[in-house]
Amino acid sequence: MINIDELKFDDRGVIPAIVQDAATKRVLTLAYMNRESLEITLKEGKTCFWSRSRQELWRKGETSGNYQHVKSIIADCDRDALTVMVDKDGPACHLGTDSCFEYPLAGEVDPGCGEEPGKDDFSVYSLYKMLEGRKAEMPEGSYTSYLFEKGLDKILKKVGEESTEVIIAGKAEDKAETVYEIADLTYHVLVLMVELGISVEEIRKELAGRHIIDHKVKQEKMTK
């Protein structure tokens, strides 16, 4: 992947490594590697960093299970910084978020910047994290708490009902209503995922690994 002898480590013997998701290209974290940790990364195919605070090697996922499987490593034009593309087994951040650069949920204040994110920061990931919080805290008066309290059968019933609503709205070719009902269905499916311990990342990986078009063509041929 890379010639270590061409790299320019700083006076502390480390080089910054920007870690990105190979599928989404999203920046996951900024870490540092020394020669030994980079050699281990290349040999084992999983990220290993150098902890500047603890002054020791840090194999990502060794304690959490959230390994990062290396797809490629490239250096910048000056050979003093790296980009590491990975397939990850779980959250990249020690706070449990998908990325160390993930915004907090809408309405929450990020103590790191002191600014409150707006609606543009909303994502399926942030909604999922909110639902996880609801299940953990079970605040009174929350519809989500109500669903988790009633359990799997109630959640499945709602998923079924919302699926039917999507079909009805779609059949009527009512775009606005269909968008509304798909949003309801998405919410309830995410509740189901949280209930069953299925992460958004697992769904992303499943979709990314499929040849959807080819598979669909094969299905159509089989039904003719």
Q: Which residues pair with 72 in a beta bridge?
A: 85
Asked if residue 63 is part of any domain, the answer here is yes
Could you tell me if 50 and 14 are in contact, meaning their C-beta atoms sit under 8 angstroms apart?
Answer: yes
CA of residue 136 relative to chain centroid, distance: 20
Asked if residue 221 is part of any domain, the answer here is no
Asked if residue 27 is part of any domain, the answer here is yes
Straight-line distance from the first to the last Cα atom of the chain, in angstroms, rounded to the nearest whole number: 47
- Choose from 54-63, 103-112, 132-141, 153-162 the range with maximum mean pLDDT: 153-162
Q: Which three-class secondary structure state does DSSP give residue 164?
A: helix
**pLDDT at residue number 8:** 96
Domain that holds residue 16: 4-88
- The average pLDDT across 112-128 equals 56
Q: What are phi and psi of 2, to 5 degrees?
A: -155, 150
- How many other β-carbons are positioned within 10 Å of the β-carbon of residue 80? 13
If asked whether residues 11 and 84 sit together in one domain, one would say yes
Is it the case that residue 7 has pLDDT exceeding 90?
A: yes
Over residues 73-93, the pLDDT tens digits come to 999 999 999 999 999 988 887
- Mean pLDDT, the chain, whole residue set: 84
Tell me the C-alpha distance between 129 and 107, whole Å: 13
**pLDDT at residue number 216:** 56
Q: Judging by beta carbons within 10 Å of its beta carbon (0-12, 13-18, 19+), is residue 117 exposed, middle or buried?
A: middle
Structure tokens at 51: 């902890």
If asked whether residues 135 and 192 sit together in one domain, one would say yes
Tell me the C-alpha distance between 103 and 37, whole Å: 29
Could you tell me if 7 and 39 are in contact, meaning their C-beta atoms sit under 8 angstroms apart?
Answer: no
CATH number at residue 203: 1.10.287.1080
Question: Which amino acid, residue 135?
Answer: K
Q: What are phi and psi of 142, to 5 degrees?
A: -95, 130
This prediction's pTM: 0.51
**pLDDT at residue number 39:** 96
Domain boundary pick from 88, 116, 150: 88
- H-helix or E-strand containing 15? strand 14-21
Asked if residue 152 is part of any domain, the answer here is yes
Bridge pairing between strands 56-59 and 82-88: unpaired
- The average pLDDT across 148-170 equals 95
Q: 222 vs 150, which has greater pLDDT?
A: 150
Q: Please list, in sequence order, all residues whose beta carbon lies within 8 angstroms of the beta carbon of residue 121, skipping any fewer than 6 positions away.
A: 103, 106
Total number of domains constituting the chain: 2
If asked whether residues 82 and 8 sit together in one domain, one would say yes
Asked if residue 66 is part of any domain, the answer here is yes
Give the length of the chain. 224
- H-helix or E-strand containing 32? strand 27-34
Asked if residue 118 is part of any domain, the answer here is no
Asked if residue 119 is part of any domain, the answer here is no
Provide the pLDDT confidence category of residue 62 given band limits of 50, 70 and 90.
Answer: confident
Q: 100 vs 160, which has greater pLDDT?
A: 160
Asked if residue 137 is part of any domain, the answer here is yes
CATH number at residue 9: 3.10.20.810
